[in-house]
Copies of this chain bind each other. A is one copy, B any other.
Amino acid sequence: MASSHTGLEFDVLADHLALMLAQEDLVSIEKVIRDMSPSDLVDVLEREDPDDRAIIYRLLPREVAVEVFERFSPGMRADLLTGLRDEHVVGVFEHLDPDDRVSLVDELPATVSAKLFSGLSEKERALTAPILGYPSGTIGRHMSTEYVRLRPGMTPREAFDHVRASGDGAETVYLLMVTDDHRRLEGVVGMRDLIFALDGDSADGDSRDDDPAAEPITVRDLMKSPESVTASEDAEKAARRAVRTTHLVTPVVDEENRLIGILTVDDANRIIDRADEEDAARAGASEPLDRPYLITSVTTLVRSRIVWLLVLALSAILTVQVLEMFEDALATVVTLSLFIPLLTGTAGNTGSQAATTVTRALAVGEVRLRDTWKVAWREVRVGLTMGVLLGMIGAVVAGLVYGMDFGLIIGLTLVSICTIAATVGGIMPMVARAIKADPAVFSTPFISTFCDASGLIVYFLIAKAVLGI
């Protein structure tokens, strides 16, 4: 029974495959990959270059191929399709879930995707169309249109038989949607509740007229009130809410509460993962990558970072200008320049601490826009407390080494910049959210630059006052 690999086994396997690829020994490769789990296959394929990946992929049995494909990132899917022969591509495309099909469209050139769609069967095209109707960025774009619908009046047995008769292609049969005659969502029923509500003695076949005496249990009695999302909602927000319900599936409805699809918990997780990855990348001043790091070209890596780096370097010219303003003070007391990196670094760290915390709280919905003043007031107090603690230490250390004057300057500056940096760091993500920008973009890097400049001004003003220059 192929359990998942440990790190070491995996390394051996990867080396082994590389050798077989070099020798073009397709028979051996096929033998090795036949025993691998889809997770391991994804791990291996993510590390191969595009040509080798296409070779290995073509050797996979159809069902495994589709499962592996669905686990790839959008960028890798597009790469792979361009590496496969036409008949392979059409086969994979037909067997994808409708929502995965749609997300591919966003990656492929329009001509390619148009060709792929024209090759789709009638049925699959009908399932894909509603998803394409929603703009990318909405949750409608990620929903599945293959679900099982029940009526509230059905008995558990009727419902169970209906699932067995119609649920074959459904994304899931574990949470069933209950709608009225106008397709309006009334509730959801777990397969588990349905199973335990089945009467023990009736056959699987037609049993509609059984038991006319006792009041029969119906789907309505088993039904729970659904926590649904609206198709036009922002994908990340809706996905986070769906995951928080801890249900396997969340119904997707239109503005009139009509059921139009379902969102599975693993699709929701994929959306959140992607959003978190974006946030993490932007907090680190780069754009998220579409493909695994090791197979991303150096050019693409540079492109994901250089714009940010340039913008930040240009905004850092502000610090040069601030220092120019105080060039005289620097010339008079050279010692002042020694503390520049320490002070700007501390300001930057304090700012990004606050920004990281508030950005996260915004993302998971713990903090809302109306809380802006609450956040500001908390950060003022947090910054001031940390500034006082740090300032006292700084004053003593700097005082001992560079004299009383410098102790005073460093102490006062640390108190001020910690307070300013924490407050600005806390508010900036809220401002970003208010102007509908990505809070993560506004966090760490920009805040650092801002804190650098304002920290320097405070530093030199205090220094000039204390030293009387």
Closest 8 CB pairs of A and B: A284-B356, A293-B361, A319-B341, A337-B337, A292-B366, A316-B342, A286-B353, A323-B338
Query: How would residues 263 to 307 of chain A score, 1 for a CB under 8 Å from any chain B CB and 0 otherwise?
Result: 001100100000011011101111001001110001101100110
> Given the interface contacts A226-B1, A293-B366, A452-B341, does A356 sit within 8 Å of B286 by beta carbon?
yes
**Assembled-state Cα–Cα distance A301/B196 (Å):** 48
Contacts of A42 in B (CB 8 A): 244
**Assembled-state Cα–Cα distance A302/B196 (Å):** 52
Tell me the nearest residue of chain B to A11, going by C-beta.
Answer: B370
Chain A 1-27 interface residues, beta-carbon cutoff 8 Å to B: 1-4, 7, 10-11
Tell me the nearest residue of chain B to A301, going by C-beta.
Answer: B382
Sample of 18 A–B contacts (CB below 8 Å): A3-B257, A4-B241, A38-B227, A38-B245, A47-B366, A70-B246, A164-B195, A174-B192, A200-B205, A283-B356, A285-B352, A293-B357, A308-B349, A312-B349, A320-B342, A323-B340, A345-B448, A348-B348
> Given the interface contacts A284-B355, A366-B46, A366-B292, does A445 sit within 8 Å of B349 by beta carbon?
yes
Q: Are A344 and B344 in contact (CB-based, < 8 A)?
A: yes
**Assembled-state Cα–Cα distance A38/B341 (Å):** 49
Tell me the nearest residue of chain B to A425, going by C-beta.
Answer: B284
Contacts of A219 in B (CB 8 A): none
Q: Are B284 and A284 in contact (CB-based, < 8 A)?
A: no
Contacts of A7 in B (CB 8 A): 368-369
Q: Are B305 and A371 in contact (CB-based, < 8 A)?
A: no
Q: Are A186 and B319 in contact (CB-based, < 8 A)?
A: no
In the assembled complex, the CB of A129 is this many whole angstroms from the nearest CB of chain B, namely 25
Contacts of A397 in B (CB 8 A): 317
Contacts of A334 in B (CB 8 A): 327, 330-331, 334
Q: Are A4 and B203 in contact (CB-based, < 8 A)?
A: no
**Assembled-state Cα–Cα distance A244/B72 (Å):** 10
In the assembled complex, the CB of A386 is this many whole angstroms from the nearest CB of chain B, namely 5
**Assembled-state Cα–Cα distance A201/B164 (Å):** 13
Task: Mark the stretch among A51-59, A79-87, A131-139, A387-395 that contacts chain B.
Answer: A387-395
Tell whether A185 is near chain B: CB-to-CB under 8 Å.
yes
**Assembled-state Cα–Cα distance A173/B194 (Å):** 12
In the assembled complex, the CB of A442 is this many whole angstroms from the nearest CB of chain B, namely 13
Query: How would residues 220 to 252 of chain A score, 1 for a CB under 8 Å from any chain B CB and 0 otherwise?
Result: 000001111100000000000101111010000
Q: Are A352 and B11 in contact (CB-based, < 8 A)?
A: no
Query: How would residues 179 to 221 of chain A score, 1 for a CB under 8 Å from any chain B CB and 0 otherwise?
Result: 0000001110001100110111111110000000000000000
Identify which of B284, B330, B344, B390 contacts A283 (C-beta below 8 A): B284
Tell me the nearest residue of chain B to A200, going by C-beta.
Answer: B204
Interface size class for chain A? Answer: 35 or more
Contacts of A227 in B (CB 8 A): 3-4, 37-39
Tell whether A324 is near chain B: CB-to-CB under 8 Å.
yes
In the assembled complex, the CB of A242 is this many whole angstroms from the nearest CB of chain B, namely 9
**Assembled-state Cα–Cα distance A167/B190 (Å):** 14
Q: Are B342 and A317 in contact (CB-based, < 8 A)?
A: yes
Tell whether A168 is near chain B: CB-to-CB under 8 Å.
yes
Q: Are B204 and A201 in contact (CB-based, < 8 A)?
A: yes
Identify which of B257, B338, B381 contacts A320 (C-beta below 8 A): B338
Tell whether A155 is near chain B: CB-to-CB under 8 Å.
no
Query: How would residues 155 to 176 of chain A score, 1 for a CB under 8 Å from any chain B CB and 0 otherwise?
Result: 0000010011001100011100
Tell me the nearest residue of chain B to A251, going by C-beta.
Answer: B3
In the assembled complex, the CB of A33 is this many whole angstroms from the nearest CB of chain B, namely 14
Contacts of A202 in B (CB 8 A): 203-204
Identify which of B174, B229, B393 contacts A310 (C-beta below 8 A): B393
In the assembled complex, the CB of A164 is this many whole angstroms from the nearest CB of chain B, namely 6
Q: Are A345 and B4 in contact (CB-based, < 8 A)?
A: no
Contacts of A2 in B (CB 8 A): 225
Contacts of A163 in B (CB 8 A): 195
Tell whether A404 is near chain B: CB-to-CB under 8 Å.
no
Query: How would residues 360 to 394 of chain A score, 1 for a CB under 8 Å from any chain B CB and 0 otherwise?
Result: 11000111111100110010011001100110011
In the assembled complex, the CB of A34 is this many whole angstroms from the nearest CB of chain B, namely 12
Tell whether A107 is near chain B: CB-to-CB under 8 Å.
no
Tell me the nearest residue of chain B to A184, going by C-beta.
Answer: B1
Contacts of A312 in B (CB 8 A): 345-346, 349
Contacts of A346 in B (CB 8 A): 309, 312-313, 316
